[in-house]
Amino acid sequence: MRHESDSDFPQRRMASVSELFISVDVETAGPHPSHHALLSIGACLALNPAQTFYVELQPDRPAAVPEALAISRLSLAELAERGQPPAEALAQFEAWIRARTPAGGRSVFAAFNAPFDWMFVADYFHRYLGHNPFGHNALDLKALYMGLTGTRWLETSYHHVAARYGCRQELMHHALSDAVDQAVLFRKMLEEARQRGWDWLPDQFVEVTHEP
């Protein structure tokens, strides 16, 4: 009788788990969530970017970096009037994620320069809901590109990567628009990875096209 080896088990277990990659982008009032508010969240399915989520949040703290607000063109005063309370906004985002994640599957947070977006989203999920539906599952597209192409970190800027794939080279700094642009880059990277012989990609990167 052949016994399952330690090396076999992780591969077989991973193959049985559906992975749904979700492209996420945020706009904020500053560089870190302990002092600055999360102002908007944009997301789409990385392999089906027509399925989108967007919400603007009421600021939960007054501190702001003027340059950050100038880039996003968001106003704390206006968001205080029209934005969703953070707890409601995060509950809506979680419901959107869970409705699209396959039964028994895993949703994976994907972003360009993911550490920035991740720290705000993770902080707000734990702060307002007490948990993060993404768990610890996050993919940085800059790191993926670096590993795929063997390039230096300094050459993983959005401008460099978008130019390589013939995509728009400037982000709009609107959370949903940027999430969709990230998804386009992600698909381009997967296409190149397949050309390089990464045969496992079609089984690992699951596309969900139905609306629940």
Helices (H), the chain: 8-15, 66-72, 76-82, 86-100, 114-128, 141-149, 158-165, 175-195, 201-204
Q: What is the pLDDT of residue 201?
A: 61
Q: What is the pLDDT of residue 10?
A: 38
Structural domains in the chain? 20-197 (3.30.420.10)
Q: Which of these, 80, 36, 82, 41, lies nearest to 177 by C-alpha position?
A: 41
Q: Which one is catalytic: 126, 136, 173, 210?
A: 173
Residues of the chain with pLDDT under 70: 1-17, 199-212
pTM given for the model: 0.87
Per-residue b or e along 96-112, where b marks 16 or more CB atoms closer than 10 Å to that residue's CB = bbeebbeeeebbbbbbb
173 is catalytic: yes
Token pair 């460099």 in the structure block, residue: 160
Q: What is the pLDDT of residue 130?
A: 98
**Pairwise CA distance, residues 152 & 137, whole Å:** 24
| 154 DSSP 8-state letter | G
